[in-house]
Each structure stands twice: as structure tokens, then as C-alpha cells.
Amino acid sequence: MTSSIEVLSEDLPLLGEEGKDPLEAVARQLLVEIGEDPEREGLRDTPARYARWWREFTQYDPGSVDTLFETTASGNLVGVSGISVWSLCEHHLLPFSCRFTIGYLPQEKMLGLSKFARIAHQHAHKLQSQEQLSQQIADEVERLTGSPDVAVIGRGEHLCMAMRGIRTPATMTTAVWRGALKDSALRSELIALTSDSNR
């Protein structure tokens, strides 16, 4: 006896078949493999939505991230907190949300305020780990400002832990401390200045 899954599989476009969207084909195949009928009413447009979402997320354009201003406040601690992003766990393809605090000691140039969020989003919209994401944000802030004194603190909640395996919510914290911000006094100052936004 032929199963309904086998019958449906014969109707699926081959991955990469000319004129067919390969991401839609992947979504259709996934639905079949979990025992669903991609032609039923609620799922008929799901492959197209799935393909659209993956492209929107991974091809996200944060806009310009390199707006810099002259400053006379060199050496004064700057902290930006409460930056919320979504990313995708590269191990399970499940989402995680993360809130970031970014601190740095400006030298001759200050980064425009909105650019911190744009930098975080630029690196979040790809397959990631929270550890890598924190490092990449620090790298970009250091590159743009020319300041080696950078800190990035991330607090994330991961569906790959909450929905699978142990199935419990938890908060993961990552911290990158560079240059003068390795100093415990400056660390404490940044944490104290931004603590209300990180709860």
C-alpha cells in the first residue's frame, strides 16, 4: 500500500528545478516529511510565506552604520542599553532573542546613537550563536570608532533550549570586555549605568 506521504512526494518540485522557488520546495518537503498535506487549505500558501520570511530575515538591510561625530568627550564612558534583536541559532535553526548593552570610551569620534542598534541587527540577521554575535558587535564598534575600549553584554533567551531538550526557559549572558573596559571599576560603572535596562 502506498502511503499518502509517498504520493505527495511525487508531486513535489525537485529542489532547484527550473522555474520553481527552491525555498518553497524545501518548505513543501518539510511539511510532507512531518506528515502534513501541503495542499490542504491552511497550508497551501505556507511554502511561499516560508520562503518570503527566510529571505526577508537573512537579507535584512539595517541601513548606514557608520555615522560618526567629532567629540570633545574623549575618554568619557558611553553606554547604550536595551537593544533588542532576534537571531537564529546556527545549531537548530530556532530563534533566540537577545538584549544588548554596548559601552565604549570614545576617542576623537563618537558613533551616532541609532547606529548601535543597526550594528546589532546587521549581525543578528543570520545564523548565529550568542557568543559570536556579541564578538561581532564589539568588532564593528571598535572598527568604526577606532576605540579599542569596547564592551558588549548580551542577555538571550533561546528557543532551542525552551522548546527542545530540557524544555525550560533560561537566560544566557555573554560579555566581551576590551581595552580599558577590562578594568573592574569601569565594568562596574557600565553595569550600574545601564542596569535598569537589562532586567
Domains annotated on the chain, with CATH: 4-58 (1.10.286), 68-198 (3.30.1130.10)
What pLDDT is stored for residue 18 in this prediction? 62
State how beta strands 150-158 and 172-177 pair.
antiparallel
83 beta partners = 100
* Number of helices (H), then strands (E), in the chain: 7, 7
What pLDDT is stored for residue 170 in this prediction? 95
Residues 80, 101: contact at Cβ < 8 Å? Answer: yes
Q: What is the pLDDT along the chain (199 residues), one digit of tens a residue?
A: 444 444 444 554 445 556 789 999 999 999 999 999 999 999 999 999 999 999 999 999 999 999 999 987 778 999 999 999 999 999 999 999 999 999 999 998 899 999 999 999 999 999 999 999 999 999 999 999 999 999 999 999 999 999 999 999 999 999 999 999 999 999 999 999 998 655 5
What pLDDT is stored for residue 8 in this prediction? 45
What pLDDT is stored for residue 11 in this prediction? 52
For residue 118, give the 3-state DSSP assignment: helix
- Name the pTM for this structure: 0.87
What pLDDT is stored for residue 196 in this prediction? 67
Q: Report d(CA 70, CA 113) in Å as an integer.
A: 13
Residues 96, 36: contact at Cβ < 8 Å? Answer: no
